[in-house]
């Protein structure tokens, strides 16, 4: 299991050495892998901000977390240490501890992937691609679905750095996309070729995640169906 705060804490811990940050982050010289890690760190930080905002909207006291987000942002972008200074000059130990604590707190808010989910998700992607190849579909929707399936496959292959929180987003997006295609292709006499996937939808998350996921699905599905009717 890995939520955005846990992954970000792991990154900062790896980087928080007494060597120059350009070396601890492996950007001297930069590689595609090290630069991608920096982009993911920025995305996870933005997800953390969103989760803290959700907590605030729910009535939680979040002032300390909000202040810490600014410091984590400064640490991520090396303000004001720069590439020549150690990461510890940009992010203090107590801010690492705060990030670890937030990760533990968010562990009850982020869904957990079932142990057999990666294999089942991979099988489901292959089945959907076979169905795409077997029929004719709206070119724009087909292209979008193929790209989405490719991205889900990438998420599974890079799950250590993606985590459940980001994977849940794309899985919900897949279901919403299939709902849209089903709405476009079904007739009164015959459902679309994708109806069988919707009727037998695979939930890759543990039971504790279903309630939260269904709420997200409702909003995504409504957006998809609204877009399809415009």
Domain-ending residue, one of 59, 79, 106:
106
User: Is the residue at 124 inside a domain?
Assistant: yes
> Which DSSP symbol is given to 47?
H
Residues of the chain short of pLDDT 50, as ranges, are 208-230
Q: Say if residues 111 and 209 touch (Cβ distance below 8 Å).
A: yes
Q: To the nearest 10°, the Cα dihedral for 177, 183, 189, 194?
A: 0
pLDDT digits (tens, 9 = 90+) for 122-162: 999 999 999 999 888 888 989 999 999 999 999 999 888 88
Say what the pLDDT of residue 207 is: 52
SS3 label, residue 158? coil
Sign of CA dihedral 65, 71, 77, 83: negative
Instruction: State whether 128 and 85 are in the same domain.
Output: no
Question: What one-character-per-residue DSSP string does 102-122 give?
Answer: HHHHHTTTS--B-TTHHHHHH
159 is in which domain, residue-wise?
117-229
Instruction: State whether 165 and 222 are in the same domain.
Output: yes
Instruction: State whether 122 and 221 are in the same domain.
Output: yes
Q: How many domains does the chain have?
A: 2
Say what the pLDDT of residue 223 is: 39
- Model confidence, pTM: 0.73
Say what the pLDDT of residue 228 is: 40
User: Is the residue at 112 inside a domain?
Assistant: no
Give yes or no for a cis peptide into 80 (omega within 30° of 0).
yes
* Bridge partner residues of 113 (DSSP): 205
Instruction: State whether 74 and 121 are in the same domain.
Output: no
Q: Say if residues 87 and 75 touch (Cβ distance below 8 Å).
A: yes
Instruction: State whether 42 and 136 are in the same domain.
Output: no
Region for 206 from its dihedrals, namely left if φ exceeds 0, alpha if ψ lies in -120 to 50, beta otherwise:
beta
């Amino acid at each position: 299991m890995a939520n955005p705060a846990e992954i970000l804490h792991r990154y900062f811990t790896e980087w928080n050495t007494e060597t120059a940050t350009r070396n601890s982050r492996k950007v001297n010289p930069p590689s595609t892998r090290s630069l991608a890690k920096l982009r993911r760190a920025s995305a996870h930080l933005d997800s953390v901000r969103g989760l803290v905002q959700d907590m605030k909207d729910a009535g939680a006291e979040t002032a300390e977390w909000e202040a810490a987000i600014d410091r984590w942002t400064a640490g991520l972008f090396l303000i004001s240490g720069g590439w020549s200074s150690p990461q510890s000059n940009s992010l203090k130990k107590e801010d690492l501890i705060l990030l670890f604590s937030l990760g533990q707190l968010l562990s009850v808010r982020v869904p957990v992937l079932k142990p057999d989910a990666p294999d089942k998700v991979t099988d489901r992607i292959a089945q959907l691609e076979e169905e795409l190849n077997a029929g004719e579909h709206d070119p724009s929707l087909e292209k979008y679905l193929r790209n989405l399936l490719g991205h889900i496959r990438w998420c599974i292959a890079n799950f250590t750095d993606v985590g459940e929180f980001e994977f849940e987003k794309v899985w919900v997006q897949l279901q919403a996309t299939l709902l849209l295609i089903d709405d476009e292709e079904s007739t009164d006499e015959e459902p679309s070729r994708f109806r069988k996937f919707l009727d037998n939808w695979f939930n890759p998350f543990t039971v504790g995640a279903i309630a939260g996921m269904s709420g997200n699905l409702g909003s995504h599905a409504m957006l998809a169906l609204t877009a399809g009717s415009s």
